[in-house]
A and B are shown apart, each in its own frame.
Chain A
Amino acid sequence: MQDDPVIRVIAKVLIPTMMLFALYVQFHGDYGPGGGFQAGVIFAAAFILNATVFGLNRGRHVWPARLNLMAIALGVLIYGGTGVATMVLGENFLSYNALSDDPMAGQHLGILLVEFGVGLTVAAVMVALFFAFAGRVSHVRLLNKTRAHEKALKEKAEDSAND
């Protein structure tokens, strides 16, 4: 797919648009349909498109696996951390009213934070799963190629021994 100019150009236009749309879905979830789950999936889809069009290695280069693993944990930590912060401020776990003097502003901030946590974890998990599956595919191909190569070498050796 890397050699098709149509797909390359379309992908280059689509990928930033998808990311922008994901951010819109993420932060506009209070007012319209959407939220962390949907935004995370759309954001991950942009990276998956990048990896399918420009190759797995370049895709991995854009979002390294180590960073990705940290992002998976960080999202859950942000969510839980918001809850712990409200406890430290003297309210119950995840009672966002404590986050600000104005209860409504506190609720807004709390919802923004936990939705961001959800989005981060979901996006990172989707990207990680895609790379895990796709990496396994290329690996099996390599394995099959090596086995075929070995077989050919063995046959060649047997042929020369028979001669």
Chain B
Amino acid sequence: MGFVIDATLIAFLALIAIAALRRKRLFGMVMLSGAFSLVAATLFVVLDAVDVAFTEAAVGAGISTVLALATLSLVKAEEKPHSIAIVPALLALVTGLLLSIAVSDLPEYGAADAPIHNHVAPEYIIGSEEKIGVPNVVTSVLASYRGYDTFGETVVIFTAAIAVLLIISGWTRRETEITDSTEDDHAG
């Protein structure tokens, strides 16, 4: 049963990706990328990663789509016609092939003796209940055990936002001055 659900969801992902690539209208592409994120979030739920699924649904399917739509109203509705770029396509295919080969080296899904489950994970799972008293292990790892990393992430978001705001608002101000002066000319 689990295999059927996984296979269906992954088939959906592939179908949506191909449909998005074949689309000429950018609006359709944006909507399909939102649908892609939603299916990916479902896949994360199946893998029991509910926190990641939550983030994917909220950020990938929600906010990213809204921001992409806001960008769409600035550009043309149709994609520029272009021929198939052979070198990048070949590069993507070879990388995909190498990754598929590497998958066979991974430990089996859910295997208890996988290296990832025997390093710091047992300490976190036991300590989360005993030392921190937080039932959601993801939260205790994120905010307490790996507090430095999360602090770094927050600073990254802060820095990225400042950079984007500086670029966009700088652009707007210059244009404002032009329109303002032309409007004054009309008035005079």
Contact = CB atoms under 8 A, between A and B. Distances in A.
A45 B63 contact: yes
B105 interface: no
Contact of B63 (A41, A80, A104): A41
Most A CB within 10 A of own CB, among B73, B143, B150, B161: B143
Contacts of A96: 144, 147
Contacts of A121: 154, 157-158
B154 A76 contact: yes
Contact of A111 (B50, B59, B134): B134
Contacts of B132: 104, 107-108, 111
Interface residues on B, range: 35 or more
B134 A107 contact: yes
Contacts of A30: 134-136, 139
A115 to B, nearest CB: 6
B58 interface: yes
A141 B110 CA distance: 54
B91 interface: no
B50 to A, nearest CB: 4
A125 B158 contact: yes
Interface string B49-70: 0110111001100110011001
Contacts of A111: 132, 134, 139-140, 143-144
A94 B151 contact: yes
Contact of B175 (A25, A32, A80, A143): A143
B55 to A, nearest CB: 6
A29 B62 contact: no
Contacts of A75: 154, 158
Contact of B158 (A44, A76, A142): A76
A133 B144 contact: no
B111 interface: no
Contact of A117 (B59, B67, B71, B154): B154
A118 B138 contact: no
A33 B51 contact: yes
Summarize A's interface: helix, strand, loop or mixed.
helix
B104 interface: no
Given A104-B131, A133-B71, A146-B179, A73 B139 contact: no
A110 to B, nearest CB: 7
Contacts of A25: 54
A137 B143 contact: no
Contact of A110 (B73, B143, B168, B175): B143
A156 interface: no
Contacts of B136: 29-33
A114 B70 contact: no
A146 B161 contact: no
B154 A41 contact: no
29 contacts: A30-B134, A32-B136, A33-B51, A34-B51, A34-B54, A35-B51, A38-B55, A38-B58, A41-B63, A45-B62, A45-B63, A76-B155, A76-B158, A79-B151, A83-B147, A93-B148, A96-B144, A107-B134, A108-B133, A108-B134, A111-B140, A118-B150, A130-B66, A132-B168, A133-B168, A134-B70, A140-B74, A143-B178, A146-B183
Given A75-B158, A111-B134, A122-B157, 7 more contacts: A29-B139, A35-B138, A72-B161, A83-B147, A107-B140, A129-B164, A137-B73
